[in-house]
Chains A and B, each alone.
Chain A
Amino acid sequence: MSALRTVSPQDAERAARRPEAWALYQRLKREGEAAGYYLNPDVDFVLDLMDGLLTNEERYGYRACPCRLADGVRGKDLDIICPCDYRDPDLDAYGACYCALYVSEEIAFGREAPQAIPERRGSEPRAAEEDHEAELVGWSKSGLPVWRCTVCGYLCARPQPPLKCPICKVDKDRFERFA
Chain B
Amino acid sequence: MNVKLYALSTCGWCKKTKQMLDTNGVEYDLVYVDLLEGDEREAVLAEVRKWNPRTSFPTVVVNESESVAGFKEERLRELLGI
Q: Which residues of A contact B (CB under 8 A)?
A: 45, 48-49, 51-53, 55-56, 66-70, 99-101, 116-119, 122
Interface of A is mostly: loop
Point out the residues of chain A lying under 8 angstroms from B72, CB to CB: 116
Query: For residue A40, which residue of chain B has the nearest CB?
Result: B12
Query: A118–B56 Cα gap in the complex (Å)?
Result: 9
Question: Are A67 and B15 neighbours in the complex by a CB distance under 8 Å?
Answer: no
Among the interface residues A66, A101, A117, which one has the most CB atoms of the partner chain B within 10 A? A66
Q: Which residues of B contact A (CB under 8 A)?
A: 8-15, 33-34, 45, 54-57, 70-72
Other-chain residue from A45, A69, A122 in contact with B8 (beta carbon distance below 8 A) = A69
Q: What are the 10 tightest A-B residue pairs by CB atom distance, in nearest-first order?
A: A52-B10, A66-B10, A119-B56, A67-B11, A116-B70, A116-B71, A49-B12, A119-B54, A55-B10, A48-B12
Query: A69–B56 Cα gap in the complex (Å)?
Result: 8
Point out the residues of chain A lying under 8 angstroms from B8, CB to CB: 52, 66-69
Residue contacts A-B, CB under 8 angstroms, 17 given: A48-B12, A48-B15, A51-B10, A52-B10, A55-B10, A56-B10, A66-B8, A66-B12, A67-B10, A67-B12, A67-B13, A68-B8, A69-B33, A69-B55, A99-B13, A101-B12, A116-B71
Point out the residues of chain B lying under 8 angstroms from A49, CB to CB: 12
Query: A55–B15 Cα gap in the complex (Å)?
Result: 15
